[in-house]
Amino acid sequence: MREIIQEDPKRIKIGIDKTDAFQKKEEASVFSEKVSCNLAKAYDLFCQMAVPVAVVKDIIYPQFQIIYSGQGKNEPRTPLDDIATKKAIYFLFALTLGFGVSKQISNLFSKGEYLLGHLFDLVCSIGLEAFADDITKRYFTMEVSKGTLKDSDIMLRYSPGYCGWHITAQKMLHENLQSSDIGISLTEAFYMKPMKSISGVIIGCNPSKHDFNNNYPFCGRCRTKTCRKRLVVNGI
Ligand code: SF4
């Protein structure tokens, strides 16, 4: 099954408190009036200009193995080597907010509107993740209702370019998904256009599989440790 899902940007929940725009000023309990005003403007721009659309396709384990291997450039040991099994459920996905938002971000910076440009960029990034979370929840609910996953299982996303999965795997992933149907293309360096797009695989399985030891050789260079944060968010 392959599905194209269009979303109304106003339905994507972007919690203002989720913004980490000014992380360095954690002691500030409230945003200044100027920041609040620009944040509201950035959210309005998001509602006007974002065109959220996703393509999702279910695949089986042997198909995932081929796509995951890509051009054979993955790190020798990766989380996905440990997570992916025949028992898991796999969906390839790509989603984007369209070209308009990226153009608007560039326009704001070129006009010298740095605060609004920064906040709009941030709202788009958070909106993109929130949209991806909504899609993940939607497919999790569908699989639970079909009985292919249990309520106690979880679904998480993994993307080429992160955690040892080489970015060159994008080529096969996007060809298989036919993501050009939603306006996504790849640059020669395998980055997505439009810029505000994400892609990868959604894997549903027992939570313990996602709770891997993050002691892979490349983890020492990782600044975000998002794999740990996700476990906390999902209560694992
Ligand atoms: S520590 Fe960083 S690189 Fe290592 S698995 Fe977690 S998110 Fe990936």
Write the CB contacts of 132 (distance below 8 Å, at least 6 apart in sequence): 54, 93, 95, 157, 198
Residue type, 62: P
Residue 28 has pLDDT above 70, yes or no: no
Q: Is 214 in the pocket of ligand 1 (CB under 6 A)?
A: yes
**171-215 pLDDT, tens per residue?**
999 999 999 999 999 999 999 999 999 999 999 999 999 999 999
CA of 235 to the centre of ligand 1 (A): 18
Helix, strand, or coil (residue 71)? coil
- Nearest-angstrom CA–CA distance, 210 and 203: 9
2-233 has CATH 3.40.109.40 classification: yes
Q: Is 178 in the pocket of ligand 1 (CB under 6 A)?
A: no
Query: What phi, psi does 185 have (nearest 5°)?
Result: -135, 170
Residue bearing tokens 């005003």: 37
Residue 160 has pLDDT above 70, yes or no: yes
Residue type, 34: K
**What are the counts of helices (DSSP H) followed by strands (DSSP E) for the chain?**
8, 7
Q: Is 216 in the pocket of ligand 1 (CB under 6 A)?
A: yes
**The token pair that represents 151 in the structure block:** 């309520």
Torsion of CA 170, 172, 178, 184, to 10 degrees: 20
CA of 126 to the centre of ligand 1 (A): 20
Q: Is 78 in the pocket of ligand 1 (CB under 6 A)?
A: no
pLDDT for position 22 = 57
Domain boundaries, the chain: 2-233
Which H or E run includes 173? Answer: helix 170-177
Residue type, 124: C
**42-101 pLDDT, tens per residue?**
999 999 999 999 999 999 999 999 999 999 999 999 999 989 999 999 999 999 999 999
Residue 18 has pLDDT above 50, yes or no: no
Do the beta carbons of residue 92 and residue 177 sit within 8 Å? yes
CA of 94 to the centre of ligand 1 (A): 21
Strand locations in the chain (E): 2-6, 53-59, 89-96, 154-158, 185-186, 192-193, 197-205
Mean pLDDT over 215-236 rounds to: 86
pLDDT for position 231 = 80
pLDDT for position 16 = 63
Do the beta carbons of residue 143 and residue 89 sit within 8 Å? yes
CA of 129 to the centre of ligand 1 (A): 18
Pick the closest to residue 205 from 66, 67, 86, 81 (CA basis): 86
Q: From 166, 219, 228, give the residue whose CB has the most ligand 1 atoms within 8 Å, as the site to mutate.
A: 219
**106-156 pLDDT, tens per residue?**
999 999 999 999 999 999 999 999 999 999 999 999 999 999 999 999 999
**The token pair that represents 169 in the structure block:** 């795997």
